[in-house]
């Protein structure tokens, strides 16, 4: 084998080793497959949390719309302030007191 062939074989072997090491680093290094998997899992968790927060946000907006409505205002005035319309009468039934226990 000539000297140039030996140098060429060494260079080719070194390039192969470097390529294998680079591939191992790309697959299993700090930015490799495990890190990509962790990031994918984290993204899925964040997307689920985002969906939950959007649903909560919509529920809160629905409550705000309801509390700004005439229906809620009338309900509040009737229940909390015990107000009635002009043609209505308010009847308040007394709350029965608990009867004493009878022992035999």
Q: List pLDDT tens digits, range 77-89.
A: 888 887 888 888 8
| 3-class SS of residue 12 | helix
Asked whether residue 38 is assigned to any structural domain, the reply reads: yes
Let me know whether 68 and 46 are in one domain. Answer: yes
Please state the domain count of the chain.
2
**Cα separation values, 78 from 16, 38, 65, 69, 93, Å:** 85, 56, 19, 14, 16
Q: Are residues 17 and 47 in the same domain?
A: no
Q: Are residues 50 and 23 in the same domain?
A: no
Residue 99 included in any domain:
no
- The pTM for the full model equals 0.52
Where in the sequence is the domain holding 7, given as residue range(s)? Answer: 1-30
In a domain, 39, yes or no: yes
pLDDT tens-place string over residues 22-50: 888 877 777 778 888 889 999 999 999 99
26 in any annotated domain: yes
What torsion do the CA atoms of 34, 37, 41, 42 make, to the nearest 10 degrees?
70
In the prediction, which pLDDT does 102 show? Answer: 67
């Amino acid at each position: 084998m000539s000297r140039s062939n030996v140098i060429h074989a060494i260079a080719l072997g070194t390039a192969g080793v470097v390529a294998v090491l680079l591939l191992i680093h790309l697959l299993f290094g700090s930015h490799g497959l495990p890190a990509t998997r962790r990031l994918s899992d984290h993204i899925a968790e964040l997307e689920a949390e985002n969906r939950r927060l959007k649903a909560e946000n919509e529920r809160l907006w629905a409550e705000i719309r309801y509390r700004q409505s005439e229906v809620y205002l009338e309900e509040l005035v009737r229940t909390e302030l015990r107000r009635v319309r002009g043609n209505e009468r308010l009847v308040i039934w007394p709350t029965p007191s608990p009867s004493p226990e009878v022992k035999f």
